[in-house]
Structure 1
Amino acid sequence: MNEVIKLTDENNNIHKSLIDSFDSEPGYYYQVIRSMLTPGHETELIYWLKSFGLIPNTQICNNAKVNEDCNKVMEWIPVKTIDYYQWKCKNCCEKKSIRENSVFQDVRCNFKNSIRILLGWCKGYDVDTMANILGVKKQTVKVMYSVVAATARKHLKSNQTNKKIGGPGVIVIIDTYPEGCTNSARPIQANRPILCIAEVKNIPPTYWFEALNRHNRNNQDQIQAIKDHVLKVIKDVVLPGSILVTRQDSTFCSYFDFQSLRHLYPTVVSVEGLERHNSENQNIFPNLEVIWKLALNVCEEAQFFGYDQVPNFLISQMWHSRFGSEAFEMLLNRLTDMQ
């Protein structure tokens, strides 16, 4: 496994400056990780990954199933590769990569850059930017981002009530970008439409974003497939008993579409119904604009990403929104669950 891009001498200073700036991220990354990313500390980083649980502490030989003498813990030996170590069976000398059964298994760069890619995902860096900073192939970043996003998504959709949206009596507003979210002045075409769910309980609101497939407005089968996906997402991430609020004329998540969910969400209210309660002292519409302001920013930024990168970007935005300065440390802990 070799490093994939070699920088010319004239670009080395620029590259080093990019790395130094990236590595200045404060908090857990700076306090615990950064010193292990400096030259000469490669083995220290690998031992830390092992002790933390990001790579396996032990391995059993693949031949153990056919040879009971191989059914013992393999030994950890030094080798002249970018991983510095590998596993070796004491009986048959079969070898295993120290990356096997870890988040790094299919990532083709050294562990220093692998850790940086994890931080880049937490910070919402796109694939091209991250690859440029590190001098690695875009495919390397894509592979890592996909694994990380899947882990983060699974955690955010877990059955723990503090991870999901809403709850009994909590208002949850649902709309889609670019059609809605009080977005009438914006273009109706987007790189990828996005389902936006906002829990109106705290300031700022808690959001869930879900990338939707492109569609032909005249293709009812495509529209129905997206509607079915939207209903499934709501059931997955919105707690029963929540008060659902949506537009009557939404293409994918209208007030009428949600009638089929009343067994889980007995109270479904239309935005138009709320607006009937407007008065000189209270105007519902500006309140909705405030609620959707951050969501619109995220959706607009998502349009600058490649079509296939949008879902990973949205998950990273939700992850950072939920965990803030602890996003990177929380991610590392969740990745250990893969072992």
Structure 2
Amino acid sequence: MTNSKIATSTTPTSNGKCMIDKIGDSGGLFDLLVRPMFQQGHEGELCSWLKEFSLIRTTLGCQQPECQGKTLAWNTARVIDRYTWVCPTCSKKQSIREGSFFMGVKGDFRTCLQLILAWCQDIPTDIAANNFEIKEHVIKKVYERCSQVAEFYVNSHPEDFKLGGSGCVVLVDEFPSGYMTDITPDVTTTRKRNNNSQPIICIAEASHLPPRMWLHIIKALPEPPKMKIINNNNIINNHINNISSNNNNSIINNNNNNNTIINNNNNNIDPQQQKSGMIEEAIKQIVNQVLPGSYIVANSRARCCNYEALQDLKQYRVFSVEHLQKFDTPDTHKLLNNLATIWQTGLGVCEEIQESTRGAAKQIITNHLWRQRYGSIPSVAFQNMLNHIVECYRFT
């Protein structure tokens, strides 16, 4: 069976180049409309289609002050795009890529469109470079632009990434402290971890195959034990009387300011005040992403989103993995096997984040979120990306 990600033959043609034309989108927009315009002599047709789709400008005004924004003329030219904008007054030329997704990319429109499709199919840059006979820096530039569009769209349309709803089962776990790494140990043993790694909250809607997910890197740090500073003048004697009977719970330190620092191990602090910033951040993500009425399955091992921390979320019904395991068939581990299947994709993304720099981590997440929502069906992924490029690069 042909790999759905890489539908490109690696068999060299007579001129030694690989058959880039074999990349396709399973009968979608690229196959039916775009690829036929790649033939020699159809450059004008391709440019007209790019204008109709709003991928390049349909009109442009001259930027010279003396021309006062006069509309430029569309002329043929000996440039890579075969056309250019020319001012009828001052004859100054401007690229037809002005202000578009393609501006600054060193490749013709045919190459750019093929690489957009390759990004949608998650073809690695090195494989694309080897199979498509395109320089890797060109591929990276187009991929970078696609990632920026994906990030823009994910941030602009949060409603498209809500999970769950009435009666839907939603799993919540944390990488690497929860169950995700335990249930698939073979995946993580060979991966190299980044020392700058941070916990990742992972939310998955179990009703979809592959499951729809939301991933978020926890930025907050665990809070240190809360310390109280009180004046000794009025109550020092009371605390001295309690030292012998409760010296494990209170630490009194008389400093130069005659103050006492007492650590009560949070025994007398409201439970809500004990929640660390990590837990608060995780709960905020859950409330933002999971629709009310969902059945949430959490566990007791995760630090920031464990079963106990979610008990106050009355808009959901919360269950624990540990409790559900009691109903599992003996010796089959059916529940854990199902969890392993659900988390398989998310675990791979989390491991990739651990190996990346902090700056690249967010991009990895938004790329995954975009592909799972808009790129999972090959025949529409390319068209979805073009629509989102148009929204991201609106011409004014």
State TM-score, norm by structure 2. 0.65
**What is the deviation of 1:331?**
1.5
- Cα distance change on mapping 1:321 and 1:108 into 2, 3 Å: closer
Mean CA deviation greater in 314-323 or 139-148: 314-323
> What residue number does 1:72 align with?
70
Mean CA deviation greater in 289-298 or 126-135: 289-298
> What residue number does 2:271 align with?
none
1:273 aligns with 2:323: yes
Amino acid at match of 2:342: I
Structure 2 residue aligned with 1:199, among 199, 205, 215? Answer: 205
Task: Give % identity.
Answer: 29
Mean CA deviation greater in 122-131 or 283-292: 283-292
Amino acid at match of 1:288: L
**What is the deviation of 1:45?**
1.6
Q: Distance in 2 between matches of 1:78 and 1:32?
A: 23
SS in 1 for 2:203: strand
Alpha-carbon contact 1:166-1:238 (below 8 Å) kept: yes
**What is the deviation of 1:139?**
3.0
> What residue number does 1:90 align with?
88
**What is the deviation of 1:180?**
4.3
> What residue number does 1:118 align with?
116
- Cα distance change on mapping 1:181 and 1:55 into 2, 3 Å: farther
**What is the deviation of 1:282?**
9.6
Structure 2 residue aligned with 1:255, among 297, 304, 307? Answer: 307
- Cα distance change on mapping 1:106 and 1:161 into 2, 3 Å: same
> What residue number does 2:135 align with?
137
Q: Distance in 2 between matches of 1:154 and 1:238?
A: 21
Q: Distance in 2 between matches of 1:234 and 1:146?
A: 29
- Cα distance change on mapping 1:159 and 1:24 into 2, 3 Å: closer
What is the root-mean-square deviation in Å for CA atoms of aligned residues? Answer: 3.9
Q: Distance in 2 between matches of 1:173 and 1:38?
A: 49
Q: Distance in 2 between matches of 1:226 and 1:73?
A: 55
- Cα distance change on mapping 1:26 and 1:306 into 2, 3 Å: farther
- Count residues with an aligned counterpart: 317
Q: Distance in 1 between matches of 2:155 and 2:302?
A: 25
SS in 1 for 2:181: coil
Alpha-carbon contact 2:295-2:316 (below 8 Å) kept: yes
Q: Distance in 2 between matches of 1:172 and 1:241?
A: 10
> What residue number does 2:339 align with?
288
State TM-score, norm by structure 1. 0.74
Question: Unaligned regions of 5+ residues in structure 1, if any?
Answer: 1-10
**What is the deviation of 1:169?**
4.0
- Cα distance change on mapping 1:42 and 1:295 into 2, 3 Å: same
Structure 1 residue aligned with 2:382, among 313, 328, 333? Answer: 328
> What residue number does 2:244 align with?
none
Alpha-carbon contact 1:113-1:134 (below 8 Å) kept: no
- Cα distance change on mapping 1:170 and 1:159 into 2, 3 Å: farther
**What is the deviation of 1:43?**
2.7
**What is the deviation of 1:120?**
0.3
SS in 2 for 1:86: strand
Alpha-carbon contact 1:209-1:318 (below 8 Å) kept: no
**What is the deviation of 1:116?**
0.6
Structure 1 residues 1-339: aligned runs within 5 Å: 13=14, 16-23=17-24, 26-63=27-64, 66-67=65-66, 69-156=67-154, 158-159=156-157, 161=159, 163-177=161-175, 179-180=177-178, 182-184=180-182, 185-186=185-186, 187=188, 190=192, 195-209=201-215, 212=217, 233-234=285-286, 237-256=289-308, 258=310, 262=313, 265-278=315-328, 284-296=335-347, 302=352, 308=360, 310-311=364-365, 314-315=368-369, 317-319=371-373, 322-337=376-391, 338-339=393-394
- Cα distance change on mapping 1:43 and 1:201 into 2, 3 Å: same
Q: Distance in 2 between matches of 1:235 and 1:84?
A: 52
- Cα distance change on mapping 1:245 and 1:81 into 2, 3 Å: same
Q: Distance in 2 between matches of 1:82 and 1:147?
A: 20
Alpha-carbon contact 1:320-1:327 (below 8 Å) kept: yes
Larger radius of gyration: 2
**What is the deviation of 1:35?**
1.3
